Structure 1
Amino acid sequence: MLLRVILLILPISHTSNIFAGSLLGGSHLTALYDLALILADSGHNITFVNIVSRGLDKCVPHPNIHVANIVVWDSQDEDMMWKDCIADVMKGDSGYALEAFGPSCIEVWREVWKRSAGVFSGEEVLDMFSRTQFDVILGEKVENTGLALLGTVTNVPVVNYEPSFMIELALLHNNLPMLVFSQPSLLLNHRFHRSPSFTEKLSVLKDAFIFLPFIQSGAEAMQPFLEKFGFSSLRDVKNSVKLYLTNDHPAFTFPFLRPPNDIPIGCANLLESKHAPIEFSPQIVQFLEESVGKDVIYVSFGSYAKMSDVPWFSELINILIELDLRVIVKVDKYCDKIFPESVLPLDWAPQKDLLRSGKVKVFVSHCGNNGRLETIFYNVPALCIPQFADQFINAELVKLKGFGESLMKEDIPYRAREVVTSMITDHGTYHGNMKKA
């Protein structure tokens, strides 16, 4: 299905040259690279520009993918992102998520957009286009990264690959109404499976105003690059975006109002993994062998999160230990905590292999977009503890569809034992719901 969609805009008569541009590291970068792998396996040539230091270290090389590293974002910048944007969100109350996007965080993101746009409208990339006839530009958040501008300048159609909550870009592109207050709401309303009350509508409106400076930061960062090529605003370049590939699965979000050029392709990047051999490190193999007859829980809150000094995270792990569970936990490089033998800490976890191994009973996660799709594909019930962005919506969807449960971090001391125990007891129900979906 994915290949058919791409072929709608690719010349069928020859192997196509595709220019792919990454944003930041972690799940965003690897998701785009996984999509590039599918296209490379189909015989297309990919030029993949990576702007993140060591961003593709864990990605599998492919003879049809040429990686061009134009690095403008390194580990020190990741530390800055954590300090100014994420740390307070992870440590604070769930209701604090929007307020945490204050001036210092907005400045960090403005810098992200500025550096990215500088790469994708810079001389090095334009020189690539002068030497190669590219058929398609593929990227994520293409308007703010400068990829839509690149498509307009070079007259090459752009494909935007986005998580599901960014469908509003496709709606705006087609002049269709955004479903801000309808069912489902696509803007900041976390209880979107029912029609919100009048008070909730006012709350969403307030949140929108709080979030407005952050939304504007991308457009502000892009302005000098737009003016360089004679454009006044992002509206002048949006028509270069011809297709939206949404990293979503209908089992979660049907029905959405979808424009004709928005196609959900979530889980497409996981199809080949079902047949690939699982190769665990000796450390993981030994832990799983010693866990026979016990319930194994996998815990991860993403690649950027530095959880070693987050109090509720330590409390959560302690509760899982008290429940006599075997725990594989993703920790950061700063973590010096001593764990008992029932816990395996990993500073990098082969998440897909763990989930598809059949050894993990429950996945405890922030419920990012890639993670929630992986759970349903591999039929592993998810306990979502959302922190920010689309994670609240994802957690609501997981709970609503019967694929797992949602728990606010404030409730961990009071409800975590009960919820985890119930999920293990009712594992078959969640597993059955996911398999059916």
Structure 2
Amino acid sequence: MDIKFPIFIEPEHFIIKMKLGFKILTPQSTSHIQDKFLIITVRQVALYLCFKDVLFNHRVCETLANAGHDVTFIRVTVYETDFTALATPKGVKAHSVNASTGASFERFEAAQSESLFKEYSLFDSQRYTGSGVMFMLETVVKSCENLLQNKEFIEWLRRERFDLAFTHMFEACPIGLIHHVKIPSWVWLNSAPLLDFVASSVGVPLPPSYVPPMVMAVKDSMTFTERLKSFVGHGLLSILYPRTVTRPETAMFRKYIDPNFPDLGELSSKAPLVMVNSDELYDFPRPTLHKVINIGGIGVDFKDARNLSGEFATAAEKAKHLVVFTFGSIVDMTKMPESWKGSWLAAFAEFPDVQFFVRYKSNDLKDRIPENVLLSKWLPQADLLQHPKTRAFITHGGYNGFQETLSAGKPAIVIPFFSDQPRNAELAEKLGFGIKIHKSEVSKDTIVSALREILYNKKYSDSAQRLMKMIRAKPVPASQLLVRWTEFAAEFGALENLVPYGINLNFIQYHSLDVTAFLITFIGVLICIVIKFALICIRLFSKKFRKEIGSKPKIKKQ
């Protein structure tokens, strides 16, 4: 039976209770006790804006429960409208918490729908306001105030005496709450690759010369202009998160909890562990820290596909090749511009021997679709991707689909929209298993060209197969990293020995600008001294030379 606290918010964070008492484990062994975990997620924010966040957290819950831990999952609602979340993983206790702030989900949905099919630059404010990102952040920050006034929940949390907490990447409020109720250890969970503000907070270096901001659509090899944008972008993004999240929420803690409450930015910088939904085998190589644990692909099984049924089986049986096309749960394909719809259908008609499976929720195209196109409101995506006839996946580049594509060893055509999707598209190209199409370039010709290249150039499928084999042969699986590091952090607490001293340095010290200025000044002064000395020597020798010339007797002409 669900426990309903009056108010609680935050997107995607876990709080974990563990009964300490560990033994040394061999690689084959598991914990000899049952640890108790509490996992909290905001239902609507993550379900619509970042469905991958909800799914990723469910997979983490399930993995911990399967390892023998007692997991409690709290689902939190923020908007007035409620939605059905994913089914609770087996072995996980689910509680429901109402944290509605009165915000309109319809407003958020409308703002996002209007912006998805438009192209924005990195510095265009519409990239953030139009997509609903700023609205989401404002809603979450406002909900923090409700949380801090919910004394019943806070006291319950304190009484439970949790040993470890997970908190989601977008929020700082639970970090303060963890500190307030004295939970001894916590993990900062990223449902995407390592976010820039998380990296900056915990001291991971962000050299803009080859580590661009996540929302920037470039590879790690950049032109001068791209490096300039990367440099400026990192600077702007480093200001955005403190101004929109940590500072307002710190003020709330000082208002409702303690006037001397620590700055949430300082608390976040000392995160014992950071767990990231990424994998070094399919990410851009970059600087990192020992505390950053890659658990990408967790819960993505490498099992053989189940047999297709119904209309999917019939269509697959008749076709020579299969292509799967979906923009996931975030992008409503029915709201594509008419020019896009016509371009896709016309392009698909150029490949009569290929069966296209398209996730599409409306019937407005039923009289226009070619014979080789099957529209469905739902697709057995994993089964289709692993089907032996499948040759490509057309996707928006969301991280769930990105990982499922790699686990199936299939090449991809990526049309990114926002967030980490442009980065993922660049990554697919760099790794050799994908082709990117910009939103502004969607047309019949570009689609046909990309399909011909991905279907008939073997290098893409070869690269995808190689990556699949590397992932499956990885020495330590993500599930083991999650369980073992979580237990380790719960046993040893804050893990101060993993905190880099760099978080204590100011901008000038961190970048050694004072040292650089000193060396430039020293070398400049040294050069001036050498030049001055040289000039003095030249003058002395020139005077001596003139004197010697003047002292020589003149020879009279006969």
Q: Give 1:274's match in structure 2, choosing from 299, 302, 314.
A: 302
Indicate whether 1:92 and 2:124 are aligned. no
In structure 2, what is the Cα distance between the partners aligned to 1:42 and 1:135? 17
Query: Which of residues 35, 40, 50 in structure 2 aligns to 1:21?
Result: 40
Q: Which moved more, 1:379-388 or 1:182-191?
A: 182-191
Counterpart residue number, 1:233: 263
Partner SS, residue 40 of structure 1: helix
**Deviation sequence 1:274-295 (CA, Å, 0-9, x none):** 3477375634334333xx3332
CA shift for structure 1 position 73 = 6.7
| Contact 2:41–2:74 (Cα < 8 Å) also in 1 | yes
Could you give the per-residue CA deviations for residues 188-209 of structure 1, whole angstroms, max 9, x where no partner exists?
4432321441x33333355567
Cα deviation digits, residues 151-203 of structure 1 (max 9, x gap): 11222222122145434345334434322x12233454432321441x33333
Alpha-carbon distance in 2 for matches of 1:285, 1:128: 51
Aligned to 1:203: 229
Q: Distance in 2 between matches of 1:131 and 1:285?
A: 54
Which of these residues, 325, 341, 360, is aligned with residue 331 of structure 1? 360
CA distance in 2, matches of 1:240, 1:384: 37
- The size of the alignment, in residue pairs, is 421
**For residue 56 of structure 2, what is the aligned residue in structure 1?**
31
1:400 to partner: Cα distance = 0.6
| 1:116-145, Cα deviation, whole Å (9 max, x unpaired) | 67458844542442453322222321634x
- Write the distance in 2 (CA, Å) between the matches of 1:410 and 1:254: 25
Amino acid at match of 2:404: E
The answer as to 2:428 corresponding to 1:431 is no
Query: Structure 2, unaligned stretches of length 5 or more?
Result: 1-15, 23-31, 471-558
Say whether residues 1:160 and 2:160 are aligned partners. no
Equivalent residue number for residue 377 of structure 1: 407
For the residue of structure 2 that corresponds to 1:420, the secondary structure is helix
Contact 2:396–2:415, Cα closer than 8 Å, also in 1? yes
Please, which runs of 5 or more residues in structure 1 have no aligned partner?
1-5
Asked if residue 66 in structure 1 is aligned to residue 86 in structure 2, the reply is: no
Check the 8 A contact 2:204/2:287 in 1, yes or no. no
CA–CA distance in structure 1, aligned partners of residues 95 and 464 of structure 2: 41
1:388 aligns with 2:388: no
Query: Hey, what does 1:80 align to over in structure 2?
Result: 107
Q: Does 1:252 align with 2:279?
A: no
Q: Structure 1 residues 135 and 316 mapped into 2: Cα distance closer, same or farther (>3 Å)?
A: farther
Aligned pair in 2 of structure 1 residues 221, 359: CA closer, same or farther (>3 Å)?
A: farther
Residue by residue, what CA displacement relative to the aligned partner does 1:297-333 show, whole Å, maximum 9, x if unpaired? 111212122221222541443122332232222234x
1:356 aligns with 2:371: no
Which amino acid counterpart does residue 408 of structure 2 have in structure 1?
Y
298, 304, 316: which one aligns with 1:288: 316
SS in 2 for 1:184: coil
Would the alpha carbon gap of residues 305 and 117 (structure 1) be closer, same or farther in structure 2, given more than 3 Å must change? farther
CA gap of 1:375–1:96, structure 2 versus 1, over 3 A, is same
Q: CA 1:220/1:336 → structure 2, altered by over 3 Å: closer, same or farther?
A: farther
Find the aligned partners of 1:178 and 1:9 in 2 and give their Cα distance.
37
Q: Which residue of 2 aligns with 1:51?
A: 76
| TM-score relative to the length of structure 2 | 0.67
Identity %: 18
Contact 2:19 2:34 in 1 (8 A): no
TM-fit CA distance, 1:223: 4.2
1:45 is displaced (CA, Å) by: 1.1
Quickly say closer, same or farther: Cα 1:275–1:306, change in 2 above 3 A: closer
1:15–1:43 Cα contact (<8 Å) kept: yes
Residue 183 in 1 paired to residue 205 in 2? no
User: Are residue 418 (structure 1) and residue 449 (structure 2) matched?
Assistant: yes
Q: Is the 8 A contact 1:18 1:138 kept in 2?
A: no
Hey, what's the Cα distance between the residues in 1 that align with 2:334 and 2:383?
24
TM-score, length basis structure 1: 0.83
CA distance in structure 2 between the partners assigned to 1:103 and 1:195 by the alignment: 27
- Structure 2 counterpart SS, 1:21: strand
- 1:292-331 equivalent positions in 2, closer than 5 A: 292-311=318-337, 313-318=340-345, 319-324=347-352, 325-331=354-360
The answer as to whether partners of 1:94 and 1:387 remain within 8 angstroms in 2 is no
Counterparts of 2:143 and 2:359, CA distance in 1:
29
Partner-residue secondary structure (3-state), 1:352: helix
| Partner Cα distance (1:212, 1:258) in 2 | 18
Q: What is the alpha-carbon root mean square deviation over aligned residues?
A: 3.4
Q: Is the 8 A contact 2:327 2:395 kept in 1?
A: yes
Q: SS of the counterpart of 1:237? A: helix
